[in-house]
Copies of this chain bind each other. A is one copy, B any other.
C-alpha cells in the first residue's frame, strides 16, 4: 500500500514535490489543496484531486502526510500548526530566528492531534544542517563554514525590484573562490562577510530611469548589499527572460578541525539546477520518514536531526546494510 501524499499550495515548490512523488514508487499524490478556485488549477498528476484549502478536514482519512508548500514569512507560521492538528505534515520553514517558536507551536498542535510533523526541511535548513551537525559532533575542536551559491536569492531579487526605476531584477549570490580554497586548505581562516560572497545583479530599468542612481541605491542598500562587493548589470527585458529565468542554487558546508595536531576537512556541497525541485525531493523523502514515525505512535514536532536516516529509504534495513553501508 502506497503512502498517500497531500500537497498544500501549488507554486514552484509544490510542483517539485509533485515530481518527487512520481519518482518514488511507494507513494501516490492523493490531493492538492489551493486557496485559489480549484477549477482554475491544473496539476500534472492524473487521478489526483484538486480541492479547496478550506476543505482539508474532509480529507482526514485520505492523506497520510501533507507536504506544506507555503512561504516562511506569513504562510507557514499559520498553516503548519493548523494542519498539524489534522495531518502528519512536513514544511520547509526557513526563518532561522523564529525556528524555536515555530517548533513549539507545531509540536503542541501535532501532539493535540496525535500527528507527527517535521519543520525546516529542505537543503538549508535541512541537508546543510545535517552536514553542520555531523561535522560538529565528529570534530568538536573545529570551525564551521557555510557558503551559498552560485544561485538566485529571492529576498535580494525582491529588494532590487523595490528600487525606484527598476522594472525587473535578479540577484545571484556567488561564493568567493579564494575563500573556498582557504577553507579547503584547513587553515581555519577568519572571513568577513565581504570575503565570503559577492553579489551580482541583473536589472531591467524602466525607460528613462537614472541608471547611475539605481546602481548606487542597490550597492548602498544596508543589510542586503552594503557589506558585499556588488556588481550591477543593466540588461534588456528580452535578455532577462532568456538568461535569468532559472532557479539554480547550491552551496558548500565545511567543518574543519584538528585531532592531536592533525588537520581534517569535511566538505558537503550541492549544485542544483532547480532549487524548488531539489527541495521538493528532500521534503518528499522525509515525508516517508514522518509517515513511519506516526505509524509507530511517535507524535509531535521533529527536525531533520531527530530522524534516523534509514527511515528516509524505501529499502529494508537488510538491503541498506548489504548495498549502501
Give me the interface of A with B, judged by CB distance under 8 Å.
16, 19-20, 23-24, 96, 99-100, 103, 120, 125, 127, 129-134, 136-141, 184, 186, 259-260, 262-274, 277-278, 280-282, 285, 288, 303-310, 312-313, 317-318, 320-322, 324-325
Looking at the complex, which one of B16, B99, B322 makes contact with A99 (CB distance below 8 Å)?
Answer: B322
Given A306-B317, A308-B308, the answer on whether A138 and B16 have CB atoms closer than 8 Å is no
Q: How far is the CA of A136 from the CA of B323 in the complex (A)?
A: 11
Is B321 a contact of A310 with CB atoms below 8 Å?
no
Contacts of A271 in B (CB 8 A): 184, 186, 264-265, 267
Contacts of A20 in B (CB 8 A): 259
Nearest chain B residue, comparing its CB with the CB of A284: B138
Given A184-B271, A320-B133, the answer on whether A140 and B309 have CB atoms closer than 8 Å is no
Between A and B, 23 residue pairs with Cβ closer than 8 Å are A19-B259, A23-B140, A100-B322, A120-B325, A129-B324, A130-B309, A131-B268, A132-B324, A133-B309, A133-B324, A137-B309, A186-B271, A259-B281, A264-B271, A264-B278, A265-B269, A265-B271, A267-B267, A305-B310, A305-B313, A306-B309, A306-B317, A308-B308
CB distance from A275 to the nearest CB of B (A): 10
